[in-house]
Amino acid sequence: MKKILIILSAVTLFGLVAIENALAADAPTIKVGILLPLTGTFAAVAETQRDGALLAIDVVNSHGGLKMPGGKVRVEGVVGDDEAKQDVGVRRFRYMVDDGVKGLGGQTFAPLAYAINAMVSKNPLPYFPICVMSKEAFQKGKLAETTFATAYSPWTVGYMAGQAAIKTLGKKKIFFLARADSFGWDIRDGVYAAAKEFGGEIVGYDEVSLGTPDFTTVLQKVRAAKPDVFIASQFAADAVALLKQSQQMGLNKEMTIFNAFITNTVGKGLPPEALEGVYAMHYFYYDLASFPDKEVAKQAKDFTDLYRAKYGRPPDAYAAIAYIAYMEMFRGFETAQSYDPLKVSAAILQNGGKFNTMIKGTANWREDHAAEYKYAAFLVKGKGAKEQKNEWDLFSVIGSAGGSQVMPPLKSLGY
């Protein structure tokens, strides 16, 4: 009799699950846009952003969809390739709007994010850039009322890198290499601000364009300047090329190498001898087992387990940026009980804009619609071959930075 009851209970349970799934499948659907440079220089990073966005959609749909006034609403992600080109990105953004998306996230190329921000200023749409958007974009009057950036500006990246190099690592003499665009210049300004505040000295400076293949001339200048630390703003494929060449020239034996903002994709693209000893700021690193804040360490593990189950590898920093962005978009829809862009914006800012990232602790939306985190980034150190226990064991977490002090003062942005 007991076995019969167990069988009947199991049948009932599976039957209820089947009914729930059938009902969910019949639920109305909304579309949200995922627009990224899936080809070109940033492709490897863009793929992780796409995967983070799609995971957020899966999480919402696993609960039947968004809780809206008429009942549950499922979410469909519409993926497009902006190719990191202004004209292509703007055109495909318009296609998505014409297709009826209720919100949009994306971009790895900051200038395109700025262009789309300008477009949603005129025709409001919930827009979540998931790149490090230029500081200028956050200025009062330039940021759209419906734009929310889950990654801060490059100025914050630079400030955190400079702060960590000087205060944590004790490196006073800095050579800085910018990328010759708003991304590199903003990081430069952040590093310079930290140097001024914490007693650092800029002993050398240079800048190169996006996509530079050969850094030999620049690295000779770095060597001649004899800095304590070489801080570079290069990102994605550019960072891989720079760090490889720095190691090949032996600079890592003469000074500390600090890549301002890094990802696992960059770390994975380097031979262990080029990664070993490189310092960087990492928006999110999946292995926080030794991190002092155990609640945040648990959140990181839970998110990593969820991501691994879908993709078979740990999440990278930009996957986390995207995941947080889309979960905030969905929270905005549900809190507003509407898809109206202005109502969604107001809903996100309720209660002082406080929210839980469920990945790396608490955060809040500032007046400039930039997310301010308790743990804005983690200071990491690259591991060599002897330290790496598996293919994704790339970094050791040795510190963190965050709070209001790493953000540009609102007054400086016109607020």
pLDDT tens track for 365-403? 999 999 999 999 999 999 999 999 999 999 999 999 999
User: 96 vs 44, which has greater pLDDT?
Assistant: 96
In angstroms, the CA 142 to CA 369 distance is 11
Query: Is 143 domain-assigned?
Result: yes
Do 189 and 317 share a domain, yes or no?
no
Q: Would you state the pLDDT for residue 25?
A: 57
- How far from the centroid of its chain's Cα atoms is residue 318's Cα? 4
In a domain, 291, yes or no: no
CA dist 136 to 109, 111, 133, 140, 152, Å? 15, 10, 8, 9, 12
Alpha helices in 199-259 (DSSP H): 216-225, 237-248
Tens digits of per-residue pLDDT, 346-355?
999 999 999 9
Q: What per-residue confidence (pLDDT) applies to 110?
A: 86
Same domain, 276 and 359: no
| Average pLDDT taken over every residue of the chain | 93
How many CA atoms within 13 Å lie on the side-chain side of 324? 35
124, part of any domain: yes
Residues forming a β-bridge with 373: 363
CA 200 centroid distance within chain: 28
Query: Band of the pLDDT at 154, cuts 50, 70, 90?
Result: very high
Q: In this structure, how many other beta carbons lie within 10 angstroms of the beta carbon of residue 19?
A: 10
Tell me the per-residue pLDDT of 53-74, one tens digit each, with 9 for 90 and over.
999 999 999 999 999 999 999 9
Contact criterion met (CB below 8 Å) for 89 and 82:
yes
Portion of the chain with pLDDT greater than 90, in percent: 91
pLDDT score at 3: 38
In a domain, 18, yes or no: yes
Same domain, yes or no: 145 and 159? no
Asked if residue 289 is part of any domain, the answer here is: no
Q: Are residues 108 and 61 in the same domain?
A: yes
**The amino acid at 356:** N
Structural domain count, the chain: 2
CATH number at residue 324: 3.40.50.2300
Q: Which domain holds residue 100?
A: 9-151+298-373
93 with 158, same domain: the answer is no
For residues 327 and 237, state if they share a domain: no
- The pLDDT tens digits for 71-125 are 999 999 999 999 999 999 999 999 999 999 999 999 998 889 999 999 999 999 9
Alpha helices in 164-260 (DSSP H): 182-198, 216-225, 237-248
Within a domain: 292: no
Q: Cα–Cα distance between 305 and 315 in angstroms, integer?
A: 9
Q: What pLDDT is stored for residue 40 in this prediction? A: 86
Q: Say what the pLDDT of residue 132 is.
A: 93
Residue 33 β-bridge partners: 78, 104
pLDDT, tens digit, 9 for 90 and up, residues 186-242 = 999 999 999 999 999 999 999 999 999 999 999 999 999 999 999 999 998 999 999
Residue 179 lies in a domain: yes
Question: DSSP letters along 73-126, please?
Answer: EEEEEEEEE-TT-HHHHHHHHHHHHHTT-S-EEE-SSHHHHHHHHHHHHHS---
C-beta of residue 124 within 8 angstroms of C-beta of residue 102 = no
23 lies in the same domain as 99? yes
Domain check: are 272 and 162 in the same one?
yes
Alpha helices in 199-311 (DSSP H): 216-225, 237-248, 264-268, 272-275, 294-311
pLDDT on residue 27: 80
Do 124 and 231 belong to one domain? no
Using CB atoms within 10 Å of the CB of residue 11, give its burial: 0 to 12 exposed, 13 to 18 middle, 19+ buried. Answer: exposed
Residues 185 and 89 in one domain: no
- Specify if 290 maps to a domain: no
Q: Say if residue 366 is in the same domain as residue 399.
A: no
For range 262-290, the mean pLDDT: 97
Contact between residue 116 and residue 128 where contact means Cβ atoms under 8 Å apart = no
**Do residues 214 and 272 share a domain?**
yes
